[in-house]
Structure 1
Amino acid sequence: MDPVKRHLPPLKTSINKYNLHAKKSLGQHFLLDPMINQQIIALAGDIKNKTLVEVGPGPGGLTRALLDSPARCVIGVEVDQRALLLLNELKEYYPERFKIVEHDALKLDLTTLCDSPRQIISNLPYNIGTTLFLGWLKQGAAWDRMTLMFQQEVAERICAAPNTEFYGRLSVIAQWVANCAIVKRIPPGAFSPPPKVYSAVVNVVPKSEQPSPILFKAMETVTAAAFGQRRKMLKGALKTIDGVNLLAKANIDGTRRAETLNISEFDQLARLYAQNNNL
């Protein structure tokens, strides 16, 4: 038996030692089931010799599974002081392969932490998950893959198709730069404390061709206007960004609504917007 595994204290023992119980204010719901954590890693594809970044490792349930994988190293980004004490104890067992970064992930460019090949695998805090995800999408070329856990509704929004209930701005931007798929749904009872909703794991694989920062900004502007007032026809919703002209150039019927447009049509509108505004 690996001596590290033999001497590593049980996860619950470490949690109790540091009184690390989930805080609602931090959007924490800890996934402690080792079987599910192993399944998440299996769904993340080939991680051999990659650097894995985990945001919000908390008590380290997923972290332990990541460190037990063939990854080159694991970087945990954590802001909770209680969790940092526990994670530093865990680092003693993996001094060469585990790095802890004490920082607010919302204010940190993760790409500065390591070289490629790099991948994100995280059970994201519910209250900042979408914001973090949008930031990482802007850096699509920097990531081999992202395997992320969200509330199920957020996961559905990321992967939704046009003309469906959850299709919106997040769907368009995510699928514009990446191939996205829900690969696992997890019931509330798997977490401590149990959330009120199901969670879901999403695999996000960036496409080979990525938009420039200028084009990405144009897409953000177009989708914000289009979905800002979902019930409006596009000619009205896009009025503030010269929508009638954009729609005419794109040969898109202005009486349509945002949820009927596919990714290619939004791409066309974003490119025209960037061109018309000399971005």
Structure 2
Amino acid sequence: MSGLETLPPLREVIARHGLAARKALGQNFILDLNLTRRIARTAGDLSASDVFEVGPGPGGLTRGLLMEGARHVLAVEKDARCLPALEEIAAAAPGRLTVLQGDALQVDPTRHLAPPIRVVANLPYNVGTELLVRWLTPADWPPWWASLTLMFQKEVAERIVARPGGRAYGRLAVLAQWRAEARIAFALPPAAFTPPPRVSSAVVHIEALGAPRHPAPAATLQRVTAAAFNQRRKMLRTALKGLAPDIETHLEAAGIDPTARAETVSIERFCALARSLEE
């Protein structure tokens, strides 16, 4: 029996360390190790990869990642209360787990991990979308990560994989599908978490492509999609008028009807518009 298998149940760990989830930190813990191991397996073969985990809490997913053979795990946790529980896991898996206290938005995982790096996380709800956008929009591509396996609210997961023409299609869909393959692996009910959130959740798996589907400057594409979908019920010539005084000329150059609305425009056309604005 390995050291990981001798660790006490997570409910006991939470009670012993006083780790009641805090709403202000977006915490909802998964205590079922069968489920956390399933999430880890969704990321693929981890035996030849390092893993970056954000918001491990008491370490349910951390255990799953190590049990499924992750070469090394970097776990970044903001809540100091969780550190003793995570250090117990590190002691049970010598040399395979590094725990950092801090804000994941401020951590450079490449300083601690060797490629290939896979991100696997039950993201805190309050920073999940911001982290995803950062990971999808680096200036250079391919990125430092090979894949992202992330837990989101189900509504957010559906927005990541949505296609043009639907209500869920928006900025996240464009940014995710522009340079990666995205799919929903499976959904989870509120009862899978402690405490149960008010919404269902889903695990999304995103694999980085070797090159973008269409050329476009990342920062400009992000600005275009943010402006377009912030006012998604307006015509694009109105929603985007703040980006350039001659926005209709740029829309037409990109093959987009200036009277169209954002949800009808393909990723290819958004990329063409970003290129036109950049030039």
- TM beyond 0.5: yes
Aligned residue number for residue 100 of structure 2: 101
User: Structure 1 residue 9: deviation in Å?
Assistant: 2.1
1:240 maps onto 2:242 in alignment: yes
Distance 2:227 2:4 in 1: 53
Amino acid in the other structure paired with 2:94: P
Aligned residue number for residue 263 of structure 2: 259
Q: Normalized against structure 1, the TM-score is what?
A: 0.93
Identity score, percent: 46
Distance 1:252 1:57 in 2: 44
Contact 2:153 2:200 in 1 (8 A): yes
Aligned residue number for residue 85 of structure 1: 84
User: Structure 1 residue 252: deviation in Å?
Assistant: 1.7
1:200 maps onto 2:202 in alignment: yes
1:205-241 deviations in whole A, cap 9, x for unaligned? Answer: 1111149xx8111101111221121111112212122
Distance 1:222 1:80 in 2: 35
Amino acid in the other structure paired with 2:157: A
Please state whether the residue corresponding to 2:276 is helix, strand or coil. Answer: helix
Structure 2: runs of 5+ lacking an equivalent: none
Q: Give the alignment of 1:142-221 within 5 angstroms.
A: 142-210=144-212, 215-221=217-223
Amino acid in the other structure paired with 1:61: G
Amino acid in the other structure paired with 1:249: A
User: Structure 1 residue 6: deviation in Å?
Assistant: 5.0
Aligned residue number for residue 110 of structure 2: 111
Amino acid in the other structure paired with 2:191: G
Aligned residue number for residue 52 of structure 1: 51
Give the number of aligned pairs. Answer: 274
Aligned residue number for residue 137 of structure 1: 136
Please state whether the residue corresponding to 1:232 is helix, strand or coil. Answer: coil
Aligned residue number for residue 68 of structure 2: 69
Aligned residue number for residue 223 of structure 1: 225
Amino acid in the other structure paired with 1:60: G
User: Structure 1 residue 103: deviation in Å?
Assistant: 1.3
Please state whether the residue corresponding to 1:89 is helix, strand or coil. Answer: helix
Q: Normalized against structure 2, the TM-score is what?
A: 0.93
Q: Give the alignment of 1:35-50 within 5 angstroms.
A: 35-50=34-49
User: Structure 1 residue 176: deviation in Å?
Assistant: 1.0
RMSD, aligned α-carbons: 1.8
Contact 1:186 1:200 in 2 (8 A): yes
Distance 1:66 1:6 in 2: 13
Distance 1:225 1:132 in 2: 19
Please state whether the residue corresponding to 1:189 is helix, strand or coil. Answer: helix
Q: Note closer, same or farther for the CA distance 1:262–1:210 as it changes in structure 2 (3 Å cut).
A: closer
Amino acid in the other structure paired with 1:253: D
Please state whether the residue corresponding to 1:122 is helix, strand or coil. Answer: strand
1:126-163 deviations in whole A, cap 9, x for unaligned? Answer: 11100011111124521111100001111111111111
1:18-57 deviations in whole A, cap 9, x for unaligned? Answer: 0111000000000111111111112111222210111000
Contact 1:222 1:270 in 2 (8 A): yes
Aligned residue number for residue 277 of structure 2: 273
Q: Which region of structure 1 is more displaced relative to structure 2, 16-25 or 248-257?
A: 248-257
Contact 1:141 1:210 in 2 (8 A): no
Amino acid in the other structure paired with 1:201: V
Distance 1:13 1:224 in 2: 44
1:98-145 deviations in whole A, cap 9, x for unaligned? Answer: 111111012222233212111000000011100011111124521111
Structure 1: runs of 5+ lacking an equivalent: none
1:45-86 deviations in whole A, cap 9, x for unaligned? Answer: 122221011100001111111111222111101110110121
Amino acid in the other structure paired with 1:32: L
Distance 2:48 2:252 in 1: 50
